[in-house]
Structures are given as C-alpha cells and as structure tokens.
Amino acid sequence: MKKGNLAIFIPHVGCPHNCAFCNQWSISNTESPPTAEEVGDLCNKFLPEKDSNIEIAFFGGSFTAIPQEYMQEILETACHYVKAGRATGIRISTRPDYINENILNILKNYEVTSIELGAQSMNNEILAKIERGHTAQDLVKASRLINEHGFSLGLQMMIGLPFEDNYEKEALQTAIQIAELKPDTVRIYPAITLKDTQMELWYRNGEYKPLNVEQAVNISAKLLQLFEEKSINVIRVGLHADEGLENAYVAGPYHPAFRQLCEAYLYRTKLETTLAAIPQGRYTISVAKGELSTAIGQKKDNVLYFSNCGYQLEFEEIDSIPKGTYNIQPRSSE
C-alpha cells in the first residue's frame, strides 16, 4: 500500500538563511508556525483511528534549526499518534548543516523515521551565490550520519538555478553525486521564480533566465530515469500545485502535472526508438494496464507528435502486458 503524508508546514522559523529562491510563507499559505496544540488538532482531524499508512510530515526545510524547545514540543505531540498506531512515523525536512549526533538522537527518541535534506546543488559556487549557507561537503557528511543512525534518507535537488552555465550538465552532475549518497528517496524541483525573492530581482533585472516547461521536462525526465535505474524512489517531480504557489508565481517551469509530462516524455522516447525501425503508417500500440494516459501524453501530445512524424497511432490497454512494455501491430489503412 502506498504511504501517505499528513503535511504540516513550519515555514522559515529558525532558518539562518534566506535562500535566493525561497518564499515559504507564500507557497505554504502559512502565516505563523503551528503550536503543539494545533499539530494535535490536525492529527486528530486527519489521521485514521487504526490501520494507518500515513506519516506525519513536517515540511519547511529547516526543522532542526528551529528552537529546540519548540521542536521537541511538536515532536512530542506527533510522537503520541505514532505510538497510538495512528501514524507510521514522522518525516522531517531540514538543512544539511543542522544535522549532528545530538540532533539525530533527539529525533530518534521521538519516533522520527525519515529525514529529507535540501541539497539543491552539489556545486559549491552555485550554493554560495544562491545563499544556501552550506556546502556540498555538509550534505555528504549529514547524509552519512543519517544513514548510520538508521533513518530513511531523502534528498531534494533543484534544476535551472541562477548562475549555472549549463542547466542540463549541472543537473546531471548533481544527480550523479546525490545517487552516490544512496538516498531512499529523491525529489526533483525545477527552480520557480517567486514573488519577494532575490531570484525575482535577478529575473526582473535580466540577470536570470529561468527554464521553460519544455526544457525543464527534458532535463527532469533524464534525472527521473537516472534515479530509477539506480533503484532510488523519486517521490516528487515538480512543485505541489496549490493556490499559494500559483499566487506567488512570477516565472519559470511551473505546471500542475509536471511529473506526468516527464513520464510521457520518457514513454515517447522509448516509442520513438521502436518506431524509427519500422515504416511510417497506422499502428495500434498495446500498453500495460494503468499506462494509457502516460503513453498518450497530456492532451494527446504523444499522439500528435507521432502523427507529425508520419505514424498514425491508436492506443489500448491490455491486462497481460507487463508494466513498462508495449506491443505494436499494424492497422489497416482503410
């Protein structure tokens, strides 16, 4: 059964840096951090009474940098629901430079099971320019400690950052180095320019040209394939679609179904290789159950793409076809 999250945002509290791309207050729709009582109210409202497959997830990017007393108060509240069987564990998101032995021991005591680190880039020059306040070496050290202490490790990376000379090359280099750290999960975020950020100023001044959706899809699809080939679970591609993000959006490759675009692009590249070896014409593509929309593409983009290449395709789902594979049969020209 797929695991779910009860997401609780702790925006900016305790964060020692204001990264060039970050405006957590806007995208989380949160004006102030939740109290321990409010955390309890959310858990009571949204967690099942039994047979839960949900993690309590504290997002915001700097959980272990918040005041320790406050951190332990909300962890103690969340921990109660884990021990009661209403949640499977606690997931947190934090900075690599706020991970050490003492912090990890505290997290272990409160039933924290998963720790996600914002890596963003493994290029120290880029990290400095976007004001991350940590180095790639900090990420390597923190990842090693998290693995050694038995937590599930998640890493987050960002593509299309300011000052990158070659967006695709930088993304692939970061992805390869992240994969070497053996995370259990990865998130891939295209850089989006938000209101009231340094990145917005760079964009308005013409110092930064963000990726467009097509460019971001092409790069992210390659990363998705890279991580999947290394058996690393990519749990998100693209930012979560919500009103807060859409209101704060200024520029960049935002799309509410970004992952689906990437998966459809990968399916297209597979089909393209196969079709290149056969004559143009009319064909039926039989795909695995559950993969029809991916094969067709959003708004039938893949169908239209191949039509322009001389291939008139119809798609169907067949239960007996293994996932990730397909069969091609010619159709009558009548």
Whichever domain contains 324, its CATH number is: 3.30.300
**How large is the average pLDDT for residues 133-138?**
96
DSSP string, 309-322: TTEEEEEEEETTSP
Residues 27, 162 share a domain: yes
- What are 19-68's pLDDT values in tens digits? 888 876 555 555 678 999 999 999 999 999 988 899 999 998 789 999 99
CB 192 within 8 A of CB 246: no
On the CB side of 146, how many CA atoms lie within 13 Å of its CA?
30
Amino acid letter, residue 300: K
CATH, residue 148: 3.20.20.70
Residues 110, 22 share a domain: yes
Residues 325, 247 share a domain: no
Q: In the prediction, which pLDDT does 334 show?
A: 56
Residues 271, 186 share a domain: no
Q: How far apart are CA 63 and CA 193, in angstroms?
A: 23
* Boundary of a domain, candidates 256, 289, 317: 256
Which range of residues forms the domain containing residue 46?
4-256
Confidence of residue 163 (pLDDT cuts 50, 70, 90): very high
Q: How far apart are CA 331 and CA 208, in angstroms?
A: 49
pLDDT-wise least confident of 55-69, 118-132, 213-227? 55-69
CB 155 within 8 A of CB 119: yes
Residues 174, 210 share a domain: yes
> Could you give phi then psi for residue 136, rounded to 5 degrees?
-65, -35
Percent of the chain with pLDDT over 90: 85
CA 114-256-159 angle, 5° bins: 60
Residues 321, 203 share a domain: no
* Boundary of a domain, candidates 224, 240, 256: 256
Structure tokens at 26: 């806007």
Residues 27, 140 share a domain: yes
Q: How far apart are CA 175 and CA 125, in angstroms?
A: 17
* Boundary of a domain, candidates 256, 276, 311: 256
Q: In the prediction, which pLDDT does 31 show?
A: 61
Residues 169, 302 share a domain: no
Q: Is the pLDDT of residue 327 over 80?
A: yes
Residues 206, 137 share a domain: yes
- What are 1-19's pLDDT values in tens digits? 567 899 999 876 667 778 8
Query: Count of domains in the chain?
Result: 2
Q: In the prediction, which pLDDT does 11 show?
A: 77
CB 115 within 8 A of CB 89: no
Residues 212, 185 share a domain: yes
Residues 291, 162 share a domain: no
Q: Is the pLDDT of residue 307 over 70?
A: yes
> Could you give phi then psi for residue 93, rounded to 5 degrees?
-120, 130
Q: How far apart are CA 126 and CA 19, in angstroms?
A: 12
- Per DSSP, 250 falls in state E
Q: In the prediction, which pLDDT does 314 show?
A: 96
Residues 160, 93 share a domain: yes
